[in-house]
Structure 1
């Protein structure tokens, strides 16, 4: 994080953390501008009033965390820091490949099902019920749907682990041997679910525990987390 380069607008204790992590993985200079949803700074760039927002130095604006991390992975795929240290693989697979198809599919499941139909319903109708109406039944069903969707993703991880070292291209991550932006999205959702007590169905699963440790010990995650801690301590 610097005072030059493109801007990431939002607050770290939000989906903006996904973009912070991605930016740290890529290693480019960027500015992090603390702004809350529906603030004038946010509405200037996103008529929906939501964060995160990514603003290029030439004025190009992008919002929605999945779109931002994918854009960054595509744009900076040829930088040396956007590669696995051992396998020289990419954070976002190239368009038109089977790997990209699986990436897009997994990204869609995480955003549209795990997040929007699960975690966001809890936040909307319990945490922010004063604004959106408290609907306990909706939250109960959202938790069940979260667990149903998460079982599919956990099985995807286990299938990859079982195929590790074979011609099946398996490995410890959601797409196999390569850490990608969908892992960033998934780990953020898992940590979010822990903060609201929705982790009882998966917190003892050895595959998930090893996966979380593998992802969260990455230096980019640690750097992004330090930004998050500073942001949280400011109580803004």
Structure 2
């Protein structure tokens, strides 16, 4: 059985949601970054971490990719053009959305106060809104980012859009708002959201 280390109020939520979608059994260890359990799994103390037997994996996207490949769900097969496009989209979301949100978080409460630059948040909000325009354009006429099938990048983007809303970033347009509502209306999402 898998063990997911990290509170659901973190990027661990992505892993928990994917496992719920897959119907895979897991144990959830709801701990904060740099807790004893987090440090035992990852010397940096960052979460999430995934235990699979004696192996420990870190980084939410790496964990999701591993699980999707291992179980043949929520992904295109490795070595295909479709997978290369999926990976490109995953990296686009990480670069254009996740990294922008993480930079804002670092300058809000993560970095020591003397190293924060609060003024950076306004340009980041502008960049975020601009980057969402391309993702929204690509979603036109589709149920999910790559067509009719929900994949790892969908969980990644939906989680980022929820994070952005809590962080006071611009609201998504109607296309992305409907997309997030559709994804968060899934039973697996509700089960993950109900975890401690």
Q: Could you say which TM-score interval applies, normalised by the shorter chain?
A: over 0.9
**Pairing 1:140-179 to 2, within 5 Å after superposition:** 140-158=122-140, 161=141, 171-179=142-150
**Given that residues 124 and 132 in structure 1 are in contact (C-alpha distance below 8 angstroms), is that contact kept between their aligned partners in structure 2?**
no
Q: Cα RMSD (Å) of the superposition?
A: 1.5
Length-normalised TM-score, structure 2: 0.94
C-alpha deviation, 1:131, in angstroms? 5.2
- Tell me what 1:36 maps to: 32
Distance in 2, Cα, partners of 1:199 & 1:144: 8
Question: CA offsets per residue over residues 182-201 of structure 1, 9 Å max, x none?
Answer: 1101000001111122133x
**Given that residues 47 and 59 in structure 2 are in contact (C-alpha distance below 8 angstroms), is that contact kept between their aligned partners in structure 1?**
yes
2:194 alignment partner, SS class: helix
Length-normalised TM-score, structure 1: 0.78
- Unaligned runs of at least 5 residues, structure 1: 78-89, 162-170, 232-236
**Pairing 1:195-214 to 2, within 5 Å after superposition:** 195-200=166-171, 202=172, 205-214=173-182
- Tell me what 1:109 maps to: 92
1:126 alignment partner, SS class: helix
C-alpha deviation, 1:113, in angstroms? 2.6
**Given that residues 125 and 170 in structure 2 are in contact (C-alpha distance below 8 angstroms), is that contact kept between their aligned partners in structure 1?**
no
**Given that residues 49 and 56 in structure 2 are in contact (C-alpha distance below 8 angstroms), is that contact kept between their aligned partners in structure 1?**
yes
Distance in 2, Cα, partners of 1:180 & 1:61: 23
C-alpha deviation, 1:141, in angstroms? 2.2
For 1:219, which of 184, 187, 193 is the aligned residue?
Answer: 187
For 1:19, which of 15, 18, 31 is the aligned residue?
Answer: 15
Q: Which has the higher contact order (CA 8 A, sep 6+)?
A: 2
- Unaligned runs of at least 5 residues, structure 2: none
Aligned length: 196
Larger Rg: 1
C-alpha deviation, 1:105, in angstroms? 0.6
- Tell me what 1:187 maps to: 158
Distance in 1, Cα, partners of 2:33 & 2:113: 13
- Tell me what 1:76 maps to: 71
